[in-house]
Amino acid sequence: MTTKLTRKETARRTRERLLETAATLFAAQGYAATSLEAIAAGAGHTKGAVYANFTCREALFLEVFEAVGRRDVDRLIAAIEAAPDRPAIEALLIDWADERARSGSWPLTLLEFARQKKDDAEVLGPLREILDRHWRLLGEAVAKRLALDTPPLVLGCSLHEIAYAPAMSVAETPSGRDLMALFLKGLNPTR
């Protein structure tokens, strides 16, 4: 026996499915090539369902970017907090950078989005807020665990820039792993 969903539950599921589909398509095809029609069709809905949940493609992209980035940062922070010592934390950051460098679709999509919207302060403002939030969260976690006096925003931004560098998706050497190891060594001058 199936239970009938309430209107609120149906709306929530529709929104979740649209976000999941958008995340997949933005990562695979980039921002410009991902249309609202394709997102709606991929989610099994109409374009009207997209507009019922999001004001525009930019708003949908920003929400997807926030969710994808936040999920990644939250997982990494949880692992950092559970790590027993500095070498374990550094190994986590090195592995994270290596993994991000090999899955280079999001950095390129973000660059594409930012370049397309470079003159749109209404879009770039929220994008900067998302980036600042993610950078600061990671920077605070790493600074706390490694007892660093580096400003969290600067530290988090540096870690993200190394891990998500668009060049890492096309260059074989140096690797994201190599760059992160070098950066972390510089944070610990006694090594």
Whether the Cβ atoms of residue 158 and residue 169 lie closer than 8 Å to each other: no
Q: What is the pLDDT of residue 168?
A: 67
| pTM of the predicted protein model | 0.89
The span from the CA of 107 to the CA of 169, in Å, is 9
For residue 60, give Cα distances in angstroms to 13, 32, 99, 171, 178: 15, 13, 25, 30, 34
Separation between Cα atoms, residue 104 and residue 100, nearest integer Å: 6
- CB neighbour class for 138 (10 Å; exposed up to 12, middle 13-18, buried from 19): buried
Predicted pLDDT of residue 106? 85
Report pLDDT for 104: 65
pLDDT for the residue 171? 74
Mean pLDDT in order along the chain per 10 residues (191 residues): 80 95 95 97 96 96 96 97 98 94 81 93 96 97 95 96 78 85 83 49
Residue located via tokens 């369902």: 49
